[in-house]
């Protein structure tokens, strides 16, 4: 049974609205955003062909590919999205032995889900918890 990927994105966004702010982009059913007022973390969703891309943080990008029936792992996407929005994701930056001016996001880890990709936190130059833009203000008071 072929399922429309745009409808699946709409269902994911609708489910996220129960706990977070989430919307499809006006006039573009292939894009959406979700964010947390508590953590101030934002996720951007984008349909690209038969994939759903999830973007967050400095360079975190996850790809979810439709299966042979045209379906996405909606429950998995929701679990990952909730973990990111809750601040449970860690980003890795840089590669040991590379110049410091080449520091960029090279991987991620969501320990609670056992979900990771790219350069592991052990191999990266440094790691940081994905946080909203004003997270440091809590510590600088």
pLDDT of the chain along its 141 residues, tens only?
446 899 999 999 999 999 999 999 999 999 999 999 999 999 999 999 999 999 998 878 889 998 888 789 999 999 999 999 999 998 888 887 777 666 788 888 888 888 788 888 888 888 888 877 766 656 555
Could you give the dihedral angle defined by the CA atoms of residues 108, 56, 24 and 67, in that order, rounded to the nearest 10 degrees? -20
Phi, psi for residue 133 in degrees, rounded to 5 = -65, -20
- Beta-sheet pairing, 42-48 with 28-35: antiparallel
Judge contact between 95 and 106, C-beta under 8 A: yes
In the 8-state DSSP scheme, what is residue 113? G
Rounded Cα distance between 31 and 91, Å, is 23
pLDDT of 140 reads 55
What are the CA-CA distances from residue 53 to residues 9, 13, 40, 98, 110 (Å)?
10, 13, 20, 28, 16
- Beta-sheet pairing, 115-118 with 105-110: antiparallel
């Amino acid at each position: 049974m072929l399922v429309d990927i745009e409808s699946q994105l709409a269902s994911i966004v609708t489910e996220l609205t129960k706990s977070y702010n989430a919307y499809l982009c006006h006039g573009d059913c292939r894009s959406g955003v979700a964010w947390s007022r508590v953590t101030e973390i934002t996720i951007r969703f984008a349909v690209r062909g038969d994939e759903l891309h999830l973007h967050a943080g400095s360079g975190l990008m996850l790809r979810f590919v439709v299966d042979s029936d045209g379906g996405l792992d909606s429950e998995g996407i929701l679990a990952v999205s909730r973990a990111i929005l809750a601040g449970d994701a860690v980003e890795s930056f840089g590669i040991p032995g590379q110049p410091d001016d080449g520091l960029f996001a090279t991987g991620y880890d969501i320990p609670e889900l056992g979900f990771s990709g790219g350069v592991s936190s052990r191999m990266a130059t440094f790691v940081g918890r994905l946080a909203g833009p004003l997270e440091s203000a809590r510590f600088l008071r």
